[in-house]
Every structure is written in C-alpha cells, then in structure tokens.
Structure 1
Amino acid sequence: MAIYKLDTGWRADYSYYDSFGKRKKKSKRGFKTKRQASEWLTEVIKDINKIKNPYYDWNFVDYFDMNMELKINSGIKSETVNAWQAVRNYIVVKYFSNIKISELTREKYQHFLNEYSIGHTANTVKKRHQILNSVIQQAFHDGIISIDPTYNVRITGTKESKDASEKFLEADELMNLIEHFSQEERLSGNSSLSSFMIVLIAYSGMRAGEALALTKNDINLDHQTISITKTKGRDGINTTPKTKNSVRTIKMPSDFFEIYKLFISHKSEWNKNYELFDGRKIATNPNRTLERYEQKNNFNNIVSIHGLRHSHASYLLSKGINIAYISKRLGHANISITQSIYVHLLNEQAITEEQKTIEMLNGIK
C-alpha cells in the first residue's frame, strides 16, 4: 500500500493476495490531491476485504454471537457461559449494536471503556474487557480489522474495589454468626437452608457453588469429612469444580457434624439426588439472610456468602495455620493465589513473627 507524488498528480498502489494465494495489484493515478488518493485506496481495501472475508460487513453483535456460540459448543463451564451471555446482553447490545466489526477502532473501543468504567470497579471493567478482547482478537487474526483496536487501551474504574481487609469478619463476629445460625429454631424453620449454608461455609471455606452441589453422600460422619467433587452452575447443572485442586476432601470439626445432624433431622423431604440444598441454583436467599443479620448486629464489615470463605481463611491465618494447608483446603489452583488474596494478613503475621524472633534473639546470652 503506497501513495506517490508524480508530475501529473498523485498515484495510489495496493498489493494483496487473493483467496487462492495469488499476488495481485490495484493502481490508479491522476489524483489532484493526496487525500483523494488516500480515499480511493481506503475504498479499494474495503472492497477487497469484502471479497476475501465474509465477516467484513457483519455487525459486531452478530460476530460476537457467532464466536460465543463456538465458545459454548466447545464445552465451557456454565458459569463461563453465563459470563459471556451477560456481556452480550448488557454490553455488546448496548454499546456496539450499530457498529460493524470492520469499523471498530481504538478510539471507539477506548470510548466504550471510559463510559463503562463509570460506576464500576477497574476489576469489573477488566473482566468484561477480557471477553470482548477475545472476540476482537479473533477478528484481528481473521483479517477483518487490520489494526488491533484494543492495543494499549487504558482500563479504569470510578468505583473503588472493596479493600481486602473489608472482605472478612472478625473472629468474634464469625463465632457470633455460627452460634446464631446453629440454633435449632434456625435449622428447623423456613430459613433452615440459608442458615445451614451460612454455617457450612463459615466452617469449611468452600465456594457457594460447591456447597449448593453437595449431596448427603458427600458427608462422611465416620471420618468427619466432606468430599467436594462438583459445583452447581446458574443453570442448575452440576459440573466439575473450578480447578483440579478444587476436587478435595476436607476435615471438619465435630461441632459441625452435630449441627449437620440437627439440620437433617428436621429435613422432611429430599430430591432424587439427595442434595442438601434441594437443587437451589444460586445463594440469593442465604446472602440476604446473612446481610440482614450483619446489619442488625452492627458488624464492622458486611460480607456476602463468598465473604464467609474469606473469613474462614482469615481466621485460620490469624491462628497461625500454615498457608499451604489453607490453600489446599480452599481448593486454590496454587499457593500463590492464596498468598495474593491474603497478602495483607500475611504481612501482619510477618510483623508479629518478626517481633517474636527479636524477643527470642534478645534472650540469647
């Protein structure tokens, strides 16, 4: 692709390979200005791309739908399907409905990021961008767009992410919570499922989806363990857990099994799979129940069901439990993930250990 200045005006050349791999060239001269030559060249490239690429004139929504369908048919987890569908319905349709995939520029994409960042955290924007970027990169590699519109874009957010120190309960609050939701009146009434899930996650640190997928057969009273082998998606289908390390068996305290026995003694009906939570797909009710109690009792931090997972891990760390064991108990892919999530607590622990070390060394005679 080149534009030349000649004695008789301007000339534009464009070399390309056709669909059979044969090199071809289009050329025209006699343009009065460089701008006219450039405009002609732009139209030539568009026409050639339309011939070479059937997706060139596709709307971004349609191109996204095609890639989403391919992604879903590849066998991704239901939670990933939900994430793609959410991006499609609440972002692609809203921000890209009138844009052809071939018309997407860095300026347009950055404008979207700037607008979407209002009211969202940078982490949320980043997660949405990752899905969109995978589709845009496909368009780039398909040759629909010649310049990557996501290159060097800036991802921001106007809403501050919740500080890690605010995602878990203090030890006394955690104990308060367990004591309250372990009462027989809580485990026998209409809120029994929510109450037991709160206690279960507070004691185990498992993910909400893992808890929802538990069956009676996963609870071993003799060995006092819980086997975590599946997770429930928002579509109600059980799949394998998040990572291979998420398939695990965890030891539970005897106090928990007394609560469990009380819970099932009041459970009059079971579904065909003997699921503890009767096939519930999401933890909406437990989250509401938990939040109401935290607000009513003026907890320092208002955490979600997932926050109980953080609270469990934070409590173990505060008691000096080895982080490698905590990582294994939580089902993290590797210990570095655990370290990155709880770095603030590890730093506090390091300061305490440092003080203990100096006191010990000062005692050497």
Structure 2
Amino acid sequence: MLDKTTKSAKFHVYYKQWITVYKEGAIRDVTMAKYIMSHQWLIKLVPDLTLNNLTRISYQQLLNNYAEEHERQTTMDFHHQLKGAILDAVDEGLVERDPTRKAIIKGKQPRPKKPKYLNQFELRTMLSNLSLSQEINWDWFILLIAKTGMRFSEALALTPKDFDFPHQMLSVSKTWNYKGNGGFSPTKNHSSVRKIQLDWQTVIQFSELVKELPEDDPIFIKTTDKIYNSTINNILARVCEKSEVPVISIHGLRHTHASLLLFAGVSIASVARRLGHASMTTTQKTYLHIIQELENKDVDIVMRSLSGLS
C-alpha cells in the first residue's frame, strides 16, 4: 500500500497507512490507541499538509500547535510516534530531508502533581476505613492491591484458582481487557508473569472469601460487566477523603506498595520482581526519588560507622 504513495499525498493519509502496515497487530491495543489518537490530531491540525511540504518549519509548527493544548511530555510522545513514520518516508524518497531533526519540544505548564503514594501511617489509616464485608467487594480489591502492588488489570483477572493458600502465594499470569470487550488477556510483558508472596492475614481472609466461588471465573467482576478504572478510583477517593489522607489512584496504591518496601530495606531486585517490571532499570527510574533518599540515609550510616573507628 505504501509503495503507491506519492510526494503529493497528505501526511495524515500516509501516517494512517504506515500505522496499518507497521503497527497493526504488532503492538498492544492500548499502544495502538495512542497512534490512532496521534492520527486524529494530524487530521485536526494539518488536514492539508502534504509530504512534499513536510519541512523542518512546517513540522515544528505542527509540534507548536499540538503543544498549545498538551504538556511537554505528551508533546514528546506525539513527536516520537510521528518520527518513525517520517523517517520511513525519508528513506522512501517521499520526503527530501528529515524534518524532525533538531525539533524543539514545547508544552503547557504541567498541572500540579497529585500525590503518587501514601506513607505507612496514611496507608494504615486508609485501610482501617475500608468496608470489608463477608463477601467480595471493591474494598477488598483495594486492600489486595495495597498488599500486593498488582496492576489494576492484573487484579481484575484474578480467579480463585490463582490463590495457593497452603504456600501463601498468588499467581499473576493474565490481565482483564477492561478497556476493550472484556475477557482474559496476556500480561504486560513476560516478567509480569510471577508469583507474589502473601501475608498470613490476607491468606486467611481470601481463603474464606473465595471458597464458594467458581474456580476459573474472575472474583471481583462478572464476565458480562463493563468496568472502568475511574469507577474504582472514585471509590478509593471517597475512602481517602473519609480517612483524611491524600487522595491517590488505584495505580497510586501500587506506588505506595513499592515505596513502603523500599523504605523497609527490600532490595530493588526483589521489588522489581514483585511488581513484574521488565527490568530493575524500570524500578530505578520510577522510584529514583526514594532511592536517592535511602542513599542519603546510607551515607549517614557509613559516616557514623567510620567515625567510631578512630
């Protein structure tokens, strides 16, 4: 399809074809949705821009226009998604020179950042205000993510069969496609398939909760239900407000879990495995501020130890 494209073709048409040929079926649905969104922005911002008019100036103007409504990081992501297609167009002789070279990324002033995680006291306070009934509800869902650090889609996919109560283990081997039409889906990456050690209290609680439930069905949702991340975030927000602690998201519970482990002295390697990160580098980048704080404490310990040698 792409070999029939001419220099006079509209950029957004070429980009749509490029997505279809190179990305469709090769990337996860959630990533594909981002490319499709970028295509929609091209139609909105440069509906008449042709490949032969794609210069450094026209491309920079496109980025500038996009940046008027987006923060810098979002503009950077938009730039990276377009760049792959543009470089291929350069290779095919449809665009004379790389217009993305030396592109300047701008963006709106970032909004004030919401707290990403709770400290240990705040978490305990929030958990004490959960309504943990005799049957599975969303408060149990919140508790389990706080105790395991699972991703939202991983927790939705849990079935009674995933619990190994005698060994206090929880198997994570799938996700729930809540953004699509439901059903089980693969995990984010190979490293996301893992076993998470559970504390004895959680084992006792969930062994009672799931003992009468169908072994292979999700424990938190019915397979016909449509569930939204925002719905559970709103439930968590109400619990946080009731507890008078900072309002965080369900994903913030995952950050809270990891942060508490790091502050407790658990190694980065162990935290990475528990979270299902593809590499320790991901963990280090995500929790750099905590790691730096811990290193400062280590320096104090080292200095105190050395001063006692004289």
- Normalising by the smaller structure, the TM-score range is 0.7 to 0.9
| Residue equivalent to 2:63 | 113
Structure 1: gaps (5+ residues) = 1-51
Matched with 1:306 is: 251
Question: How much does 1:182 deviate?
Answer: 5.5
Counterpart of 1:240? Answer: 186
Alignment of 1:137-286 (within 5 A): 137-160=87-110, 166-181=115-130, 183-184=132-133, 192=137, 194-233=138-177, 234-235=179-180, 236-261=182-207, 263-264=209-210, 273-278=216-221, 279=223, 280=226, 282-286=228-232
The 1:179/1:357 distance shift into structure 2, 3 A limit, reads: same
Name the CA shift for 1:296/1:317 in 2 (closer, same or farther; >3 Å): same
Q: Which of 1 and 2 has greater Rg? A: 1
Q: 1:238 to 1:111 in 2, by over 3 A?
A: farther
* Deviation of the 1:242 alpha carbon: 2.1
Q: TM-score, normalised by structure 2?
A: 0.87
User: Contact 2:175–2:186 at 8 Å: present in 1 too?
Assistant: yes
**Aligned counterpart, 1:3:** none
Greater alpha carbon shift after TM alignment, 342-351 vs 290-299: 290-299
Corresponding residue of 1:78: 29
Contact preservation (8 Å) 2:18, 2:85 = yes
**Secondary structure at the counterpart of residue 227 of structure 1:** strand
Q: Which residue of 1 aligns with 2:46?
A: 96
Q: Distance in 1 between matches of 2:272 and 2:112?
A: 22
Q: 1:162 to 1:153 in 2, by over 3 A?
A: same
Q: Structure 1 residues 112 and 62, CA, compared in 2 at 3 Å: closer, same or farther?
A: same
- More displaced 10-residue stretch of structure 1: 220-229 or 281-290: 281-290
Name the one with the larger strand percent: 1
2:83 to 118, 133, 158: 133
SS in structure 1 of the partner of residue 6 of structure 2: coil
Are the counterparts in 2 of residues 53 and 143 from structure 1 also a CA contact under 8 Å?
Answer: no
Give 5+ residue unaligned stretches, structure 2. Answer: none
Q: Name 1:56's counterpart in structure 2.
A: 7
Cα 1:184/1:246, change in 2 over 3 Å: same
Deviation at 1:195, TM superposition (A): 1.9
Closer, same or farther: CA 85–257 of 1 in aligned 2, 3 Å: farther
Matched, 1:327 2:272: yes
Work out the CA distance in 2 between the residues paired with 1:161 and 1:336: 27
Distance in 1 of aligned mates of 2:240 and 2:161? 32
> Number of paired residues?
303
Of 315-324 and 61-70, deviating more is 61-70
TM-score normalised by the chain length of structure 1 = 0.75
Structure 1 residues 238 and 63 mapped into 2: Cα distance closer, same or farther (>3 Å)?
Answer: farther
Q: CA deviation at 1:281?
A: 5.3
Structure 1 counterpart SS, 2:129: helix
Deviations 1:151-208 (A, max 9, x none): 1111132232766x931111111122223226227x55xxx2x323221211111211
In the TM superposition, residue 288 of structure 1 has moved relative to its aligned partner by 1.3
- Aligned residue type for 1:70: V
Matches of 2:30 and 2:65, distance apart in 1:
26
Q: What corresponds to 1:294 in structure 2?
A: 240
Aligned to 1:28: none
1:317 Cα deviation from its structure 2 partner:
0.9
| Alignment partners' CA distance in 1, 2:67 and 2:208 | 47
Kindly provide the CA deviation profile for residues 65-105 of structure 1, in whole angstroms up to 9, marking residues without a partner as x.
2122224544321222222222233x122113222233222
CA distance in 1, matches of 2:262, 2:291: 8
Deviation for aligned residue 1:360: 2.4
CA distance 1:302–1:204, change in 2 (3 Å): same
Aligned to 1:346: 291
CA contact (8 A) 1:209 1:282 kept: no
